[in-house]
Amino acid sequence: MHPTRNPCTPPDLGQRQVIDRHMDRLDCRGISRRDFLSITSAGLAATAAAGAMGRPSTAVAAPSGKLAYLAWTTRVEYMVQASKTIEAACKALALRYTLLDGQFDSQRQFNQFDEQIVSGTQAIILHASDGSALRREAQLATQNGVYFANVWATLPWFTPFDASEYYTLYAVPEEFVAERGVTTELLKAVTAQFDGGNIIGVTGVPGFSTDTVRSRGRDAAFKNFPKTRLVGQLPGNFNREDSLKATEDLLARYKNVVGVVGQNDDVAQGVIAALRAAGLRPGKDVLVVGADGTTEGAIAIKNGQQLATSANIPAFFGAMFTARLYDVTHGWKPRAAERMLYWRSVIMTKANVDSYLSRYVDNGGIEPFDYQLMSKVLHPHNWDPQGEVFPLDIDEEWAGIPKPEGWTYPKAYLDAKKNGEWTAVVEEYRDHYKIPFFGPSPNKPA
């Protein structure tokens, strides 16, 4: 798409070169120009009719609709599990799917983003290694009319409103409350079992925006437990190997450690390995918590090696983002309050881990979500997010991170807060949430 052309203006399909360009971009191999014009004309007619009736715009899906998941690494279990669900959701929504490994390299990931656009991908889930390439990626998406949604790492204070409609969504779990909650579980148990003591922290990637929020939530929990102390922390870069090394270093520096806050479940796995190597029993001599709610984290909770995690569920992220990209590539337009979203984590302990395992792990091949029911296009009246979703508050998310010079709040964001749209979205998503996050799969036979 030419950057100066209005995306709402239909292309001139009377020109052969225009037809050929669109057929090439849409990967329409094996389709004649006559058939392509027939399909396109039907789509334009449907869109016009929808507009005349006051309904959201519709679109005809490309025969080979393609979605790509750009993970910043496949060394982290969260992304491997999310990819499995994205693939299943794509299958349910008749999309082709590609996974790419960014290998911790932001420039490599930017190149992958560019290559996917060139190859005809219509939708991209960006799991950024950091926010350094986000502006350039947003520009590419706008210039080419490709929708993308970003999770986790971002450029603080750069929002979808600062880009275009093609940056359709930035969404993360509400991490401050979640991390405060899981740390509280640890400090309660440490106080009860050891009468308090020394706690160490193994964080994620330094400067990673979500890791910063998790650290704030962790630190807030200590205010209510005066017998506990955070004596030191080191980054584990959200992976097991680096977390094992960080824990070994911290154990050498600090004595009488009775608890560890790992800032994701891969980190917690590295912590557990380091404790064992040091002759300490995880879950008995030292208590460990994590975050995210991965399969390995849940199994460690079940076997008593990990005390708790703040479970935002990799599968939910994958399903939610795939449904959003399906909808916007099929004509649905999000309101301003739906362009930045939180979802609610559940504190997972031994008390509720069996519910997680039966739905997300030992499920006999039954998918954990009804992917089509997440779509507002396919289910405009009875869609169900299947998790607690609500608008993201910019000031809560990036509290303590300095605003860029001259930064102002996006007008659409402020208007949504003032004109009642924000409240309406909160209530609408709450009312449509029917299938519990930690209940049985909606696909499980009664």
311 DSSP β-pair partners: 292, 346
**DSSP category for residue 60:** P
Q: What is residue 2's three-state secondary structure?
A: coil
Q: Pairing state of beta strands 123-128 and 147-152?
A: parallel
Those residues whose C-beta lies under 8 Å from the C-beta of residue 279, and which sit 6 or more positions away, are none
Whole-angstrom CA distances from 387 to 48, 71, 345, 375 are 34, 23, 9, 13
Q: What confidence score (pLDDT) does residue 360 get? A: 96
Q: What confidence score (pLDDT) does residue 68 get? A: 98
Whole-angstrom CA distances from 283 to 45, 151, 167, 186, 266 are 63, 32, 43, 11, 16
Region for residue 402 given its phi and psi (left: phi exceeds 0; alpha: psi -120 to 50; beta: otherwise): beta
Secondary structure element (H or E) that encloses residue 291, with its range: strand 287-292
Q: What's the burial of 203, exposed, middle or buried (CB within 10 Å: 0-12/13-18/19+)?
A: buried
Q: How many CB atoms lie within 10 A of CB 6?
A: 8
Interhelix angle 16-25/33-52, rounded to 10 degrees, is 80
Those residues whose C-beta lies under 8 Å from the C-beta of residue 92, and which sit 6 or more positions away, are 367, 371, 372
Whole-angstrom CA distances from 256 to 245, 251, 260 are 18, 9, 12
Backbone torsions φ then ψ of 119, nearest 5 degrees: -80, -5
pLDDT in tens, the chain (446 residues): 334 334 334 444 444 444 444 444 444 433 434 334 433 433 343 333 333 333 333 333 343 489 999 999 999 999 999 999 999 999 999 999 999 999 999 999 999 999 999 999 999 999 998 999 999 999 999 999 999 999 999 999 999 999 999 999 999 999 999 999 999 999 999 999 999 999 999 999 998 888 999 999 999 999 999 999 999 999 999 999 999 999 999 999 999 999 999 999 999 999 999 999 999 999 999 999 999 999 999 999 999 999 999 999 999 999 999 999 999 999 999 999 999 999 999 999 999 999 999 999 999 999 999 999 999 999 999 999 999 999 999 999 999 899 999 999 999 999 999 999 999 999 999 999 999 999 999 999 98
**DSSP category for residue 357:** I
Asked whether the beta carbons of 339 and 161 are under 8 A apart, the reply is: yes
